[in-house]
Amino acid sequence: MIEMTSNRRYGRPSVPYDQARSERVVTFLTPSEMTSLKRLADESAASLSATLHRLVVRELKVQSQKQSKSERRVDQ
């Protein structure tokens, strides 16, 4: 019998260090906030974690844009 070996790697592919999600945030929600989060997750067919990540990233972009606009006003 010939045994075939493979160098195939299984699992999630590596990503560059600066793109890896290695930091954790823990928060508590009210029951109504959790209900809203679950509804959003269900509507987008995503996990709670993925939905929350999407919301955080979106808000961080909004805040970054606001900060950039206010810095441009100060410079003028």
The CA-based angle 8-12-18, given to 5 degrees, is 120
Q: Give the pLDDT confidence score for residue 2 in this predicted structure.
A: 61
Q: What is the mean pLDDT of residues 15-43?
A: 95
Judged by DSSP in three states, 54 sits in helix
pTM above 0.85, yes or no: no
**Confidence tier at 5 by pLDDT (50, 70, 90):** low
Q: What is the mean pLDDT of residues 23-50?
A: 97
Q: Give the pLDDT confidence score for residue 13 in this predicted structure.
A: 85
Q: Is the pLDDT of residue 51 over 80?
A: yes
**Confidence tier at 46 by pLDDT (50, 70, 90):** very high
SS (H, E, C) 27-46: CCCCHHHHHHHHHHHHHCCC
What are the extents of the domains in the chain?
Answer: 29-75
